[in-house]
Amino acid sequence: MLKKKMGVSLILVLLAVSVLSGCGSGDKNTITFWTPLTGDDGAYMDQLVKDYNATNPEYKVKHVITSDMYTKISTVLNSGKGVPDLAIIHADRVPGFVKQGVLEPMTGVMQAQPELKEENYLPQAWNTGNIDGTQYTVPLDIHSNAMYYNKDLLKKYNVESFLDDDVVTIDEMLSLQGKLDEGDYVVNDALLGWVVLAQIQNLGGDIQQDGKPAVNTEVMKQAFQEIKKIADAGLMTPFGEDGYLMFQSGNVMFSTDGTWSSTAHATVENLNFGVTNIYSANADKFTNRASSHLFAMLKNDKRTDEKEAGIGQFLEFIRQNSMEWAKAGQIVASKQVIENPEYNNYIQSFFTASDKQIESLYIYTYEYYPYVAEAVDTYAADIVRGNVDIDETLQTMQKFVEDKIAEGSKAAE
C-alpha cells in the first residue's frame, strides 16, 4: 500500500513538472497581455483576443486581467521577472513611465506594421503616447466624460431646446430653478471631478504652470463656483445619494458619467435617453474630459524581436477589427473603425461626428496629472455642496499635490 501511494505521488509530481514545463515553453510563442479591464469591457477584450487567436498567428495572445495592475507592474519591473510582453495603460501614466525609463518605444513595431501610424488614429489618442518625438504607445480608444439626457424629462419640462446647439449651459440649467416636481433634479454629480477638469478648459485655464501644479488658482476657484451654482439652486441630486442610479430611475434630466456607461443605461427598461456634451459655463466652448487606453511595451530584456513583430501583428488586427470594442461604449481610436457606417449604431459615435466634437475630447498629459485628479476627486463634492471653505480647501489641495510629488521624488532617489 505504501509503495502504491508513493507511486501515485511520484506520478503527480511528474505531471506537475510536465505542466509547468509546458507553460514555460508555451510562453515562447505566447504574447502575455496585461490589462486593468475588470468591468464588462474585459469581456469585450477577451472576445477581440479570441478573434485574433482564431486567425492562427505564430504568436497567440494571452489576456490577463488584473485589478491592481499598476502595483503589479511596479513589482515585476523591480524584480525583472514576469514582465508582460504587452499591456494596456492609461494616458496619464505615459509621461511618468517614460521619465522612469520603463517603456519600450514602439519604433520596431511601427516599422514592421506601417499602418500603425498617426494619420490612422484619433489625434489626441495618438499624441498622448508621443514624448519628445518618440512614440511609446499605440492607442485603443478614447474614453470620455459624457452627459446623458432623459428625453422624457426634457419634453416634460419643455426644454428640448437645450440640445439645439449641443451645449447645455449652466445658465440654462439654472432657468429650471423652482420649476421641477419634487424628487426631480436637473443633473447628478457623477464623475464630478471630471466635470470640474472640463470647466478648467472651458474657462481657458490649466492645471500646471511651467511644469508645476496649478491647483490653488482663480480659474480652479471659478470652475467650482460655476458648478456650485447648480447645487445651491437645489438642482443637483442630494449629497450622498447615488445620482447615477437616480438617473436610471428616471428622476434626473442629465447624468455626467462616462461613454462606457451607455451599455448599462441601455439595459434599463423604459429609460429613454440620448447623449450630449458635458455642460459648460460658456455657450461658445465645451470640453469633455477624456482619457485613453493605450497599448504599451514595458522594458523587458526577454522580449525577442520575433515576439515584438508578433505584437505588431496583433495591434494591426485591432486597428482593423476593433468594432467589437465599440460595444463596450468606448470611442474607438482607429479611424478605419469610426469611419465605418456600422459605427454610427453606437451612441458614442456622437463624439466623433465632426472635427469640433473630436476636438472637445481633452486628455490631460501633465506629468503630475494623476495627483491633481486625485486631489480634485477627493475634495470636489464637499466644495460644490458648500461643506468646506473653498479658499482653504484649494490651499489644502495644492499642498496635497505638492506633497505627492515630493514623496515620488524621494522614492525615486
Q: Which domain holds residue 260?
A: 144-290+368-412
Could you tell me if 162 and 271 lie in one domain?
yes
Q: Sheet harboring 361-363: ordered strands across?
A: 331-332, 141-144, 288-291, 361-363
Q: Give me the DSSP letters along 156-225.
A: HTT-GGGGTTS--BHHHHHTTTT-SPTT-EEE--TTHHHHHHHHHHHTT--SEETTEE--SSHHHHHHHH
Could you tell me if 330 and 283 lie in one domain?
no
Q: Phi, psi at residue 21, to the nearest 5°?
A: -65, -40
What per-residue confidence (pLDDT) applies to 411? 62
| Spatial CA neighbour of 49 closest among 291, 309, 321, 299 | 321
Q: What angle do CA 259, 337, 51 make, to 5 degrees?
A: 95
Could you tell me if 77 and 194 lie in one domain?
no
Rounded to the nearest angstrom, the gap between the alpha carbon of residue 255 and the centroid of all alpha carbons in its chain is: 17
Could you tell me if 240 and 378 lie in one domain?
yes
What per-residue confidence (pLDDT) applies to 16? 37
Per DSSP, the three-state class of 368 is coil
Q: Return the residue matching grid coordinates 454610427.
A: 344
CB 301 within 8 A of CB 281: no
Q: How far is CA 192 from CA 111, 209, 239, in A?
A: 42, 23, 12
If phi > 0 it is left, if psi is from -120 to 50 it is alpha, else beta; for residue 200 that is alpha
Which run of H or E residues covers position 392? Answer: helix 390-412
Q: Give me the DSSP letters along 72-94.
A: HHHHHHHHTSS--SEEEEEGGGH
Going through 293-367 in order, the beta strands assigned E by DSSP cover 293-298, 331-332, 361-363
Q: Return the residue matching grid coordinates 472576445.
A: 47
How many whole angstroms separate alpha carbon 229 and alpha carbon 212? Answer: 29
Number of neighbours of residue 100 by Cβ within 10 angstroms:
13
Domain boundary among 352, 381, 403: 352
pTM across the whole model: 0.91
What per-residue confidence (pLDDT) applies to 28? 83
Could you tell me if 280 and 155 lie in one domain?
yes
What per-residue confidence (pLDDT) applies to 409? 72
Q: Return the residue matching grid coordinates 503616447.
A: 129
7 falls within a domain: no
How many domains does the structure of the chain reveal? 2
| Spatial CA neighbour of 169 closest among 276, 271, 291, 260 | 276
Could you tell me if 286 and 342 lie in one domain?
no
Could you tell me if 316 and 391 lie in one domain?
no
Cell of 174: 439654472
319 falls within a domain: yes
Q: Return the residue matching grid coordinates 500603425.
A: 116
What per-residue confidence (pLDDT) applies to 408? 79
Give the pLDDT of the chain (413 residues) as one tens digit per residue: 444 444 444 443 333 333 333 333 347 889 999 999 998 899 999 999 999 999 999 999 999 999 899 999 999 999 989 999 999 999 999 999 999 999 999 999 999 999 999 999 999 999 999 999 999 999 999 999 999 999 999 999 999 999 999 999 999 999 999 999 999 999 999 999 999 999 999 999 999 999 999 999 999 999 999 999 999 999 999 999 999 999 999 999 999 999 999 999 999 999 999 999 999 999 999 999 999 999 999 999 889 999 999 999 999 999 999 999 999 999 999 999 999 999 999 999 999 999 999 999 999 999 999 999 999 999 999 999 999 999 999 999 999 999 999 997 766 65
Could you tell me if 233 and 270 lie in one domain?
yes
Name residue 288's amino acid.
N
Could you tell me if 336 and 206 lie in one domain?
no
